Structure 1
Amino acid sequence: MTCHAIHRGGSRHGRVRLLASTFLSTLLISGAALAEEIPDVVISAPRFSVPAADKANAAGDTARLLSGTPGLNLITNGGVSSLPDIHGLADDRLKIVVDGMEITSACSNHMNPALSYMDSSKVERVEVWSGITPVSAGGDNIGGVISVKSAPPVFAKAGEGYVVGGRASTFFKSVNTGLGGSLAVHGADDTYSLGYDGSWVRGLNYQAGGDGHTVHSTRYESRNHEVTLGVKGSAGLLVLKAGQQDIPFQGFANQRMDMTGNKGYHGNGRYEGEFDWGKLEARVYWQQVKHSMDQAANEKGGQMPMRTDATDLGYAVKGDIRVSETKTIRVGHEFHRFLLNDWWPPVSGSMMMSPGTFKSINDGTRDVISAFAEWEEKWAPQWTTLLGIRSDTVLMDTSNVAGYGSSGMTAQEGIDARAFNGRNHAKVDANFDLTALVRYEPNSISTNELGYARKSRSPNLYERYSWSTSSMDSQMINWFGDANGYVGNLDLKPEVAHTLSTSVALHDSSRREWGIKATPYATYIVDYIGIDKVSDNVSGGTNYPLLKFANHDAMMYGVDVSGSTFVARDTGWGDFKVTGRLGWLHGEIVNTGKAMYHVMPVNGKAALEQSLGGWTSAIEAELVGTKAGVDTLRQEPKTPGYALLNLRGGYEWEAVQISLGIDNLFDKRYYHPLSGVDYTEMKRTGRSSTNQAGALPAPGRSLNAGVTVKF
């Protein structure tokens, strides 16, 4: 199976189908044997392992399938809830779409991000737009777009009758005794297709490298089920999906809380039709989530139940209009509504968490109404341009709130609630995005690009409407893994990012043998939603300050370099290929000159890959520099540099795939720069030389194995 990091759609609607794909990473991750796709754009991204190994290593955490994408890193979160970070921008600053559904984190700790709702075993295609993003890919983001798609329904060929098939997979990871399995089955004729996809994953607390101590609050379990009905005819393709997720527990070592339940239910409908004028796509979706948090009694102690009930719903209509063989116009309209109730039940006998229910977000609503137009044209064999404009109108509101009480130890809650309730909560943001791209291909071995994008994002519900300045309450508003307390700001403005990016690529004329690509970029963010310090919060020798969301200008610039080349072909041991990528980024708050939070230091990967018949193997080195530039207001921990060695291997014959691998071969003790703090360890033991939680240790050596059988 080939993994293409750059992909362009076919020429059915004009040869220029998508110039923006030059800035697009597409990972084909299906374990099924797909037709070879050879993109006629720039060099593919590095590939470090076979698809079966990718899925086994992900262990249900879909975000980990993206780890080979240049410019993308992962922020440590729960076992199935890692957060992608593109050029230092993550979480709500990215648009993440799961099978066409826009899903919002329904949690004040962002424990249930969008990618956690699709198990890694189910993923066939992941598309990543970084930096310069076509307006047709999505709005209300400033960092990029990630689209995750499952396999389309399977139909029988004409005259083939009724067909039945599927796959079954299982995996094991030694570092946390991780186990999982998935099953997909389908039955179809040439018109109707019915399928089921289910998965289960479980992991215990993982072992850190070096001394091998247990990292607590890292265990998890997740179950997913989905049924799919497909109908295909002369009028087009209709796909209907309905599914359910159940996460009974997921630990978060860098948070004060753990997930004690997450039940999600969704419905999703998609239509695609081909017409004389082009292509029409339409989608409607709905998802409801019931989520609960508390402190795991045997790891963090204490009791503080928290509940959320949330709904995402929306629709999207898009038309690709073929004006000529060289010109394509895309137009579309989208609507997304997010409804949220976040409340904390009282704890009997507690002086701080009673007598009433704490209403954190009460009847919160966030609507995004969007429209876009995009023009792509190939002016000459060497020149292609893309221009786009997008409007995103964001409407937000919430009802009045209340604390546990308004006297004694809850007196501050009463003061804060009255102040919040005394203000108008309704907000309307009229945002717009612009994208302009040009590509120049002077010959068959060179591709050059230049692009500018203006992108905007409105605050999320917690950034605008979190209201309590009480230390305990504010510390529950935290999706940053730093254990600090946060309070919202009704006066926040939307973020507006101006990005300039260029790309220079050299490759062989077939784009198969070798290639290297360098992409420098710079982003200036007006009204970046950062923080102001409100007060210190000293207790028991520790200090986790109260921070308020506030607008500041920010500046980021960096470079991504990636490449690959075959070093030997058709030897007695097969083909050998070297791949690599390197990333460097600088980010700072303009008015203070201080470092932005969660900026990845210089990092790179290099791999030697070998393939012979059905056998594939790879040895991979991962190097990360010292993180010395940290956000001092958030007390972000510094982390030392490190080097890791990983091994991969796999074999495929007929209907069976087997994958083996070893992560962190030498069991090195290291700290990922985006891991946050190990709050659980400090809470459990009280051990800390600085009376503050230190950086969270990363997993130690892990032996991984996976098997997939297709039938």
Structure 2
Amino acid sequence: MKKTAIALAVCTAGFSPFLYAQDTASTEVITVIGEPLTLTNNAPVSASTNTEADYGDQLAALPGVTISRNGPVTGLIQYRGLYGDRVGVTIDGVDIAVAGPNAMDSPLSHVLPEPGLQAVLYRGIVPVSAGVETLGGKLDIRADAQHLFAQANGLQFNASAGAFSPGDAQQYQANAFYGTDNGFFSGAFTHQQRDEREAASNDAGSNITIPNSQYQRNGGKLRAGYSWGKHSLDVSYQTLNTNNSGTAALAMDITSIDAAWYRLGYQYQADDERMLKVSVFGNSNQHAMDNFSQRAVSMASTARQNDADSVAQGIEASYITPALNGELEVGFSHLHSRNSSVITNPNNSAFYINNFSDITRDTYSGFTEWHRKTDTADYLLGLRYTQIDMDADAIDSNMVMMNDAVATLASNFNTAERSETYNMLDAAATIQIPVSETVTVFTGISQKNRAPNYYERYTWLPLGITGGMADGFNYIGNLELDNETARQIEFGVTYSKNDWTVSPRLYYQDIEDYITGTPSSNAAAVMFSTMMGSDTPFQWTNTDAVIKGLDVTINGKLSDNLLLTSTASLSHGNRDDIDDGLFRIAPEQLTTRIEWQSELMQSPLMLSVTSHLVGAQNHTSALQNESSTSGYGLIHLGARWQLTQAFSVSVQLQNALDKYYTAHTAGVNRVSDADIAVGDKLPGTGREWQISASYRF
């Protein structure tokens, strides 16, 4: 009752005109729309043009977005220098509680394409209504229910098959949709598999196999909707099963991920200005990983298997109504998640580490948001209060009886106060002012928060658990962590004239109590890590950081049938407590795509060429032994031929010049006996071709 009362108090406070609030109506929302809809920003989330299994290659075309990749199905979205849990990612409105403590089953890996799929990126300052803990941005990947309700009656079917080489990759996708006057039913299925990929030839002229770059997974989704009068219901269920898939940048590979999620949505449209939305959702993930089935181990005693699982259930509701000559939205949400993990050795039945034991995280949050648009300005104001309760059960290990350091660490953890409550207040305010017919000025300010996640607080034994950061150090948790608080300012201009739009944005973000690793002074942790042959372990610690930069989008027509889109991004991240760069921050990059629309044999033909230029990254983390990387440039070619209204063929040639390169956001190799030495950066893929065919009716 106390939590609910506080949240409702925040919502009620929204009726004051002096509150900070924000609404998506005045926030730049970049939407990437997949087949069969029209493409926006030339970066479709489409099963017929993807080159990565998790579609991260298509999202990387968005301004400020980079993919930090630890494996072919383990991509972490980095936005303006922040990644991992700092970037909010939802799939059809569902908050995915990943099971793997190293984000092998990252939210991006749960995407399964279906008709009407959209990736919605909130550029810059995120409205408070978009979600909780959006300190590093928000990406919502969804197929909007209202779009599905609006489809024509009858059966629609879409299927595609694709092949990639080298690597003997195959991908199959099928979607079926049946619409009626009052509802719809749809189903989607996907299968993906690939052998190991190859980098471009090295200086010696020989091919380089990228270790553990294979993957295999299958997924299916069912969805149905029904509307009557002012009411509508929308229900979804998805399952995605990943089998043997490599993660060369991590200490283990994926042996299986069995993931399922569901969602029930209800909407009441009272009139054109008043609407109520309620959503109930949940997901469950069982995740097994090991270091011996897909890579060699030096001794049987070093074999490890980690069985992790996560469960989440949530509910959220919002109501929109006119207020103060504008539109007011109030909402409330609750999310409960639980994580557990046990490490074993299949060659020694007595060995076990009870790694995480029934860790719970309950998030209660309420927000209010107000929007008003006039001829002279567009205002966005918002406020959100969030309370997060965390706790964990006691842990254990067979090593407690034989290792004093482990016994000390276990005892200290089990006798400590493990429960904690975080209270956080988010605020956001933006304004857009049209200063002329062609120029609009944007400015905004926000305060956003993020509480520690479960591994940052509850890793009791020094292990290589970093949420996918993969810097090679062992880490131990910290029960004394405070929540992060980021204060951001942003300024931008949008110029539009004669089919051209140019939109630069400058931003500055100061993050108080930024959570990162520092060398641990815990004697027992240092002793254990040293005994295991590792360096001094790191401990998650509150520090301070600053991230600043800019991104620019350019869209226009070179001629009636020649289109250009370009995005440029630059982020600079630094710790404030010491003179050191933030780890694994993407360097400056410029992506330019030219698309030519023509005809071949009286059928529409689209040809494209994409230039991807990446600068060197010399601003690195010396504390984490991060190495610099050189800049590089890539050329990608593509074609799409719509032979008939129902049948089309797509062809792509990635890295057409077969350039050898290493992305700074890539991990380092941890697989021995490979073409790439342990500790060296994993290179990007060399020249690859893809061909796919799609049929729909």
AA at the equivalent of 1:648: G
Contact 2:92–2:141 under 8 Å retained in 1 = yes
Contact 1:484–1:544 under 8 Å retained in 2 = yes
Contact 2:35–2:115 under 8 Å retained in 1 = no
1:621 aligns with 2:611: yes
Deviation at 1:549, TM superposition (A): 0.5
- Match for residue 544 of structure 2? 553
Q: Distance in 2 between matches of 1:253 and 1:300?
A: 12
Contact 1:216–1:299 under 8 Å retained in 2 = no
Q: Distance in 2 between matches of 1:188 and 1:174?
A: 38
What is the DSSP-based 3-state SS (H/G/I as helix, E as strand, rest coil) of the residue aligned with 1:112? coil
1:124 aligns with 2:123: no
Contact 2:23–2:382 under 8 Å retained in 1 = no
* Per-residue deviation, residues 177-203 of structure 1 (Å, max 9, x unmatched): 221111111333212322211111112
- Given candidates 414, 419, 428, the residue that maps to 2:421 is 428
- Match for residue 338 of structure 1? 337
1:299 aligns with 2:295: yes
Contact 1:650–1:658 under 8 Å retained in 2 = yes
Contact 1:637–1:677 under 8 Å retained in 2 = no
Q: Distance in 2 between matches of 1:77 and 1:252?
A: 6
Q: TM-score, normalised by structure 1?
A: 0.88
Q: Distance in 1 between matches of 2:674 and 2:309?
A: 34
Q: Distance in 1 between matches of 2:647 and 2:692?
A: 11
* Aligned pairs (5 A) from 1:527-546: 527-534=513-520, 544-546=535-537
- Given candidates 618, 621, 625, the residue that maps to 1:635 is 625
Deviation at 1:248, TM superposition (A): 1.3
Q: Would the alpha carbon gap of residues 329 and 275 (structure 1) be closer, same or farther in structure 2, given more than 3 Å must change?
A: same
1:586 aligns with 2:586: no
Deviation at 1:555, TM superposition (A): 0.5
- Match for residue 522 of structure 1? 508
* Per-residue deviation, residues 583-622 of structure 1 (Å, max 9, x unmatched): 1111100011200011111111122221125221111111
Q: Would the alpha carbon gap of residues 540 and 363 (structure 1) be closer, same or farther in structure 2, given more than 3 Å must change?
A: closer
Q: Distance in 1 between matches of 2:553 and 2:676?
A: 42
* Aligned pairs (5 A) from 1:554-703: 554-569=545-560, 575-612=561-598, 614-652=604-642, 653-680=644-671, 683-684=672-673, 688=677, 693-703=679-689
Deviation at 1:156, TM superposition (A): 8.5
Q: Would the alpha carbon gap of residues 658 and 544 (structure 1) be closer, same or farther in structure 2, given more than 3 Å must change?
A: farther
- Given candidates 227, 232, 238, the residue that maps to 2:233 is 238
Q: Would the alpha carbon gap of residues 611 and 375 (structure 1) be closer, same or farther in structure 2, given more than 3 Å must change?
A: same
Tell me the C-alpha RMSD between the 2 structures: 2.5
- Match for residue 404 of structure 1? 398
Contact 2:390–2:421 under 8 Å retained in 1 = yes
Q: Would the alpha carbon gap of residues 20 and 164 (structure 1) be closer, same or farther in structure 2, given more than 3 Å must change?
A: closer
What is the DSSP-based 3-state SS (H/G/I as helix, E as strand, rest coil) of the residue aligned with 1:57? coil
Comparing 538-547 with 693-702, which one deviates more in the overlay? 538-547
AA at the equivalent of 1:292: A
1:24 aligns with 2:32: no
Q: Distance in 2 between matches of 1:418 and 1:619?
A: 60
AA at the equivalent of 2:577: N
Q: Distance in 1 between matches of 2:97 and 2:251?
A: 21
Deviation at 1:55, TM superposition (A): 4.3
- Given candidates 29, 40, 47, the residue that maps to 2:42 is 47
What is the DSSP-based 3-state SS (H/G/I as helix, E as strand, rest coil) of the residue aligned with 2:407? helix
What is the DSSP-based 3-state SS (H/G/I as helix, E as strand, rest coil) of the residue aligned with 1:264? strand
- Match for residue 387 of structure 2? 393
Deviation at 1:262, TM superposition (A): 0.6
Q: Distance in 2 between matches of 1:292 and 1:93?
A: 25
Q: Distance in 1 between matches of 2:217 and 2:116?
A: 16
Q: Distance in 1 between matches of 2:368 and 2:586?
A: 34
Q: Would the alpha carbon gap of residues 610 and 627 (structure 1) be closer, same or farther in structure 2, given more than 3 Å must change?
A: same
AA at the equivalent of 2:180: D
1:183 aligns with 2:183: no
Contact 1:65–1:120 under 8 Å retained in 2 = no
Deviation at 1:344, TM superposition (A): 1.5
Deviation at 1:560, TM superposition (A): 0.7
Q: Would the alpha carbon gap of residues 375 and 292 (structure 1) be closer, same or farther in structure 2, given more than 3 Å must change?
A: same
Q: Distance in 1 between matches of 2:319 and 2:170?
A: 43
1:480 aligns with 2:473: no
Q: Distance in 1 between matches of 2:493 and 2:143?
A: 32
What is the DSSP-based 3-state SS (H/G/I as helix, E as strand, rest coil) of the residue aligned with 1:115? helix
AA at the equivalent of 2:179: A
What is the DSSP-based 3-state SS (H/G/I as helix, E as strand, rest coil) of the residue aligned with 1:615? strand
1:97 aligns with 2:90: yes
1:171 aligns with 2:177: no
Q: Would the alpha carbon gap of residues 334 and 58 (structure 1) be closer, same or farther in structure 2, given more than 3 Å must change?
A: farther
Comparing 163-172 with 59-68, which one deviates more in the overlay? 59-68
Q: Would the alpha carbon gap of residues 27 and 176 (structure 1) be closer, same or farther in structure 2, given more than 3 Å must change?
A: farther
- Match for residue 375 of structure 1? 370
Structure 1 residue ranges (4+ consecutive) displaced by more than 4 angstroms after TM superposition: 120-123, 153-158, 535-545, 685-688
Q: Distance in 2 between matches of 1:61 and 1:244?
A: 15
Deviation at 1:386, TM superposition (A): 1.0
What is the DSSP-based 3-state SS (H/G/I as helix, E as strand, rest coil) of the residue aligned with 1:345? strand
Q: Distance in 2 between matches of 1:495 and 1:705?
A: 45
Q: Distance in 2 between matches of 1:239 and 1:621?
A: 41
- Match for residue 16 of structure 2? none
Deviation at 1:62, TM superposition (A): 3.0
- Given candidates 683, 692, 696, the residue that maps to 1:706 is 692
What is the DSSP-based 3-state SS (H/G/I as helix, E as strand, rest coil) of the residue aligned with 1:428? strand
Q: Would the alpha carbon gap of residues 561 and 589 (structure 1) be closer, same or farther in structure 2, given more than 3 Å must change?
A: same
* Per-residue deviation, residues 397-416 of structure 1 (Å, max 9, x unmatched): 001011232233x4422211
Contact 1:402–1:413 under 8 Å retained in 2 = no
Deviation at 1:120, TM superposition (A): 4.2
Q: Would the alpha carbon gap of residues 664 and 25 (structure 1) be closer, same or farther in structure 2, given more than 3 Å must change?
A: farther
Q: Distance in 2 between matches of 1:274 and 1:685?
A: 59
What is the DSSP-based 3-state SS (H/G/I as helix, E as strand, rest coil) of the residue aligned with 2:198? coil
AA at the equivalent of 2:388: V
Q: Distance in 1 between matches of 2:375 and 2:594?
A: 35
AA at the equivalent of 1:329: L
1:355 aligns with 2:350: yes
Q: Distance in 1 between matches of 2:71 and 2:605?
A: 33
- Match for residue 250 of structure 2? 255
Q: Specify every segment of 5 or more residues in structure 1 that has no aligned partner in the other structure, as ranges.
A: 1-16, 37-43, 570-574
What is the DSSP-based 3-state SS (H/G/I as helix, E as strand, rest coil) of the residue aligned with 1:679? coil
Deviation at 1:421, TM superposition (A): 0.6
Deviation at 1:79, TM superposition (A): 1.6
Q: TM-score, normalised by structure 2?
A: 0.90
* Aligned pairs (5 A) from 1:48-127: 55-120=48-113, 124-127=117-120
Q: Specify every segment of 5 or more residues in structure 2 that has no aligned partner in the other structure, as ranges.
A: 1-20, 521-525
**Aligned residues, how many?**
658
1:321 aligns with 2:321: yes
* Per-residue deviation, residues 105-125 of structure 1 (Å, max 9, x unmatched): 211111011121122466611
Contact 2:27–2:127 under 8 Å retained in 1 = no
AA at the equivalent of 2:504: A
Contact 2:447–2:485 under 8 Å retained in 1 = yes
